[in-house]
Amino acid sequence: MGRTVIIGDIHACLDELKDLLRLCSFDASCDRLISLGDLVHKGPDSASVVEFFITGGHQALLGNHDDAMLQALIHGGELYPEAAACVQRIGLERLRNWLASRPLYLDEPEFIAVHAALDPGQADFRQTSRKAMLSGRWYDPVSGKIHAKAGDRKGLRPWFQCHPLAQGERPLFFGHWAGKELRRHGQAVCLDTGCCYGGRLSAWILPEQRLVQIPSRRPRQYDY
Ligand SMILES: [Mn+2]
């Protein structure tokens, strides 16, 4: 039986991805690799990270940054540098098809995973809006709305502190909300530890239920 290695936001940090997989003793012949989304942007090498996932046949959820690249490919016109680099390496049609077929969530016997958020107001978490799954962070228990940024709204709570699945049977993995330390509440675990900001890249290994982290090779850019 192979293991499942679930990795938080990579954001184009290829070297750290390879460091982390080495530290996990990742074996592509029997282990399964899943990214929680946001393979691209912010870091140095979006094209190599995407290529690694596509050619390796690894799984990846769609993150808001992956979706932004997909939308740029769909709408056409002149591409920004990271998108152009990815197209040059992978080919427009193959890249577009691959990004378009990334799932927004995984619902498996051993775990649930989403890039950003699930809606505490939906009895069936699969009814969460696409926007919330891609970029949600805060939940307003009064209005029932999910917001990407708190702004000056009052009474908001982190979505995962309000979601019944955090008190469920299965681990609930998400990314998108970078923190120096893991954000955790019950079964909910955020694996975005800000690698692209000079923090760490984090992985969770199943069925061992073990956290593995590698420091970023990048200088700390700013506080996050
Ligand atoms: Mn994100």
Distance CA(12)–CA(202), nearest Å, equals 14
The tens digit of pLDDT for each residue in 129-184 reads 999 999 999 999 999 999 999 999 999 999 999 999 999 999 999 999 999 889 99
Question: At residue 222, does pLDDT exceed 80?
Answer: no
What pLDDT does 190 receive? 98
If you average pLDDT over residues 111-124, what whole number do you get?
98
Q: How far is CA 170 from CA 3, 164, 184, 189, 197, in A?
A: 16, 11, 14, 11, 30
- pLDDT greater than 80 at residue 224: no
pLDDT of residue 6: 98
**Statement: the pTM of the whole predicted model exceeds 0.85:** yes
The mean pLDDT value for 91-107 works out to 98
1 pLDDT band, cuts 50/70/90, is confident
pLDDT above 70: residue 106: yes
Distance 123 CA to ligand 1 centre (A): 24
User: Which domains are assigned to the chain?
Assistant: 4-215 (3.60.21.10)
CA of 178 to the centre of ligand 1 (A): 9
> Which residues neighbour ligand 1 (ion) by CB within 5 Å?
38, 63-64, 176
Confidence band, pLDDT 50/70/90 cuts, at residue 223 = low
Confidence of residue 220 (pLDDT cuts 50, 70, 90): confident
Q: Encode pLDDT of 30-72 as tens digits.
A: 999 999 999 999 999 999 999 999 999 999 999 999 999 999 9
Q: What is residue 219's predicted lDDT score, i.e. its pLDDT?
A: 84
**What's the CA-to-centroid distance between 1 and ligand 1, angstroms?**
31
- 135 C-alpha to ligand 1 centroid (Å): 6
User: Residue 138: which region, alpha, beta or left (left: phi > 0; alpha: psi -120 to 50)?
Assistant: beta
Q: What is the pLDDT of residue 167?
A: 97
Task: Give the mean pLDDT of 100-106.
Answer: 98
| C-alpha of residue 36 to centroid of ligand 1, in Å | 9
Give the distance (Å) from ligand 1 centre to CA of residue 28: 26
Distance from residue 174's CA to the centre of ligand 1 (Å)? 10
How many whole angstroms from 24 Cα to the centroid of ligand 1? 24
How far apart are the CA of 95 and the centre of ligand 1, in A? 19
C-alpha 40 – ligand 1 centre gap (Å): 10
Amino acid at 13: C
- 115 Cα: distance to centroid of ligand 1 (angstroms): 7
Q: Please, which pLDDT band fits residue 117 given cuts at 50, 70 and 90?
A: very high
Please check the confidence at residue 221 and state whether its pLDDT lies above 80. Answer: no
Question: What is the Å distance from ligand 1's center to 183 Cα?
Answer: 15
Tell me, in angstroms, the distance from the centre of ligand 1 to residue 224's CA: 14
Tell me the CA distances in angstroms from 69 to 16, 62, 167, one per residue in order. Answer: 22, 11, 34
pLDDT for position 37 = 98
Q: What's the 147 CA to ligand 1 centre distance in angstroms?
A: 13
